[in-house]
Structure 1
């Protein structure tokens, strides 16, 4: 069983106490730093009324990045599948031709 850690993560000037697995700590701390960096960028670039608006924009940006990565992975998988199907077809044709010649 993994060991649990009690950590405090700060996001948008609020502290969130969490109990996490040891292997999750680094990722959570890194994510909170990225969120705070993004918050500062949005606050500097746009007239923001409150933190909720900035947090919503951060959530949208992170979700869009995840979605784009999934689309890229899907396209890569589709390309690989097509290549494998073409290779299978060529190998089948070669084997069929070899069988015809040996008979």
Structure 2
């Protein structure tokens, strides 16, 4: 386990002091940037809401995005499994006829 470093991250106009692994810093900062960009997008498109509403919208958006990526990963795994089975069937057929 590497040493934790302190970082200040701003999300929804609030600063959070976190201790994270150094190799995770870029990912954490980019994630915070994405969250803030989405908040701004929702504030622009849905005026009159408070920050909690915007955070909830971003959370729903982010969760939906993650679900889509998970489904694609499952589909890729299933496809790889099917390809492996086909290759095995072809190998077996070649051995029987060879």
Alignment TM-score, normalising by the size of structure 2? 0.92
1:16 aligns with 2:23: no
Contact persistence 2:43–2:49 (CA under 8 A): no
Unaligned runs of 5+ in 2: none
C-alpha separation between the residues in 1 aligned to 2:24 and 2:80? 32
> What's the counterpart of residue 101 of structure 1?
none
Alignment TM-score, normalising by the size of structure 1? 0.88
SS in 2 for 1:47: coil
C-alpha separation between the residues in 1 aligned to 2:79 and 2:65? 21
Deviation beyond 4 Å, 4+ runs, structure 1: none
> What's the counterpart of residue 51 of structure 1?
51
> What's the counterpart of residue 3 of structure 1?
3
SS in 1 for 2:8: strand
> What's the counterpart of residue 39 of structure 1?
39
SS in 1 for 2:15: strand
Q: Displacement, 1:48?
A: 4.0
Unaligned runs of 5+ in 1: 99-103
SS in 2 for 1:29: helix
Contact persistence 1:48–1:54 (CA under 8 A): no
> What's the counterpart of residue 67 of structure 1?
67
Cα-Cα RMSD? 1.2
Aligned residues, how many?
98
Q: Displacement, 1:49?
A: 1.9
C-alpha separation between the residues in 2 aligned to 1:6 and 1:48? 35
